[in-house]
Every structure is written in structure tokens, then in C-alpha cells.
Structure 1
């Protein structure tokens, strides 16, 4: 019969301390990004793979897409989701296409979407929605309750 007490021991065997610490550091280290920015992702991954006929009637795009706050936010979201989901070797990229790329690109390319005033050759500044402030007290600052 073997002595199994070592399986439950908390003391590492000599020489295992450094190796275990290195493995733990590796496991905690976030994976490196493939792309350094949302713009790099757009140019090198998204637009080369997401090919559509942008005719101005059924789909719109702005050559200066970065002047549109909604487009910036959506492209950033697409990039960050892609960087995360690419690590799932099973269904990650499928989930990214279905839940992220198809959704956001349909909104961005929609003729009534953020580029509705633009075309492939000319950018026109977007009109922002103009809200009216709600009456005082309708939306209390919840940060004040966190103390």
C-alpha cells in the first residue's frame, strides 16, 4: 500500500515552488491582443472579411467613419468582442459573427443608420439627438447611495 498523504499536503516538493509560481503567473496573464486598436481591427480584419455591396440605397458607409460617435463605439465593441471570443476555439467566432458582427454591421450599414447623410466620397456631420432634461428628482444619482 502506498502512502497517499502527500496528495493532501500543502507543502510543495523542493524545486516546485518556482515552477508553480511561474505557471500561476502565466495563467493570470491576460492574452495578448491581435490588434492594437479598433481602427487596425477594422482595416485588417473586419472590412476584408465583411464584404457587402454598399450602393447608397440598401447600404451606406462613410469614408470618414471615425467622425461618427456611434460608429466609433460599435467598431470598438466589435474589436473587443472579437479579441475575447477568438480565444474560444469551439464556437467563439461563430458567436462573434452572429451576436456582434451581423448585429452591429447591419445597424452601421442601414440606410437610415449613422451614415445616412454620408456617402462613400463625402462625410457629412451627424445630427445628434437633442434630449430635454427630465424634471428634478426623476433620475437620482445612484452613486450617492453607495456610501
Structure 2
């Protein structure tokens, strides 16, 4: 059973002190995917005027790897922080939603070439490889 706080939920009861960690079950996810989270939680609660000048969004956001990664990060953080009935919601907005949404909605962000009606593929950075030896593979040094 859960207590609903808006769309955030927290457990009715806490795991009793002294219960071994291996006996504690992880909390059930509210959303089954980052896309479900985006449509059911994030966009309905994080409402902004997306006019193309001060804020941009792409109708086909899933074609932008940066956006997909950020939405996934927002979803996973939300699922974790929703269980903190004291400050979880505030921490999620302050440290996660406000940060990632500001980056995604920025006119120079991942949707810089798109608008609400049309997706346009972004130009990807094409870096040169550094000279040999500048960045040794540290995995070989860990053994």
C-alpha cells in the first residue's frame, strides 16, 4: 500500500530496523520505461512554454541520444527519490529535473535544429583521436 503525494509515492511502512538487507525487497517501479515516465509524469508536471526561442523541444525526442539518456536518468532518479517522503520530491526537482530539463529545453540544446512540428537530425561532433599513449587504457593497469 502506498501514500500518494501527487504522482510521487512513498511506502506506508518502513522496513523494520534490524531486517537483513537481503530480505528487503526493492521497491516496485511506478513506470515501466523512460518513455512511460516522460508521458505520464515528467511532461504533465514540468510544463513550460516551448516557443522555439526561449525553449525548444523535438516531437521525435527519441531520435536524440542525449535526450534519451537524460530522460532515462530523470526516470531512474525519480523512482529512487520518490521513496524519500521528507525531501525526495524537492531533491528530484532541484538536482535532476531543473538541471536536465533546462539543458534539454535550451535553444542551443539537443533539439537545436528541431521544432514542435519537425525533427531534424543533429550534427554530431567528430573529434580527432589523441596521439598514441596520451590516454592509456587504465583497465590494463587494474590487474
Normalised by the length of structure 1, the TM-score is 0.82
Distance 1:50 1:114 in 2: 18
Question: What are the residue-to-residue correspondences of 1:1-147 with 2, within 5 Å?
Answer: 24=20, 27-147=23-143
Shift of 1:57: 0.5
Bigger fraction of residues in helix:
1
Runs of 4+ in 1 over 6 A off after TM superposition: none
CA 1:91–1:129 in structure 2 vs 1: closer, same or farther (change >3 Å)? same
Count of aligned pairs between the two proteins: 125
| Cα-Cα RMSD | 1.3
Shift of 1:116: 0.6
Q: Pick the structure with greater CA Rg.
A: 1
User: What stretches of structure 2 of length at least 5 have no aligned partner?
Assistant: 1-18
Shift of 1:28: 2.6
Distance 1:40 1:88 in 2: 22
Normalised by the length of structure 2, the TM-score is 0.84
Q: What are the superposed Cα offsets for residues 39-81 of structure 1, whole Å, 9 maximum, x if unpaired?
A: 0000000000000000000000000000000000000000000
Distance 1:65 1:134 in 2: 32
Shift of 1:29: 1.7
Bigger fraction of residues in strand:
2
CA 1:49–1:146 in structure 2 vs 1: closer, same or farther (change >3 Å)? same
Distance 1:37 1:54 in 2: 24
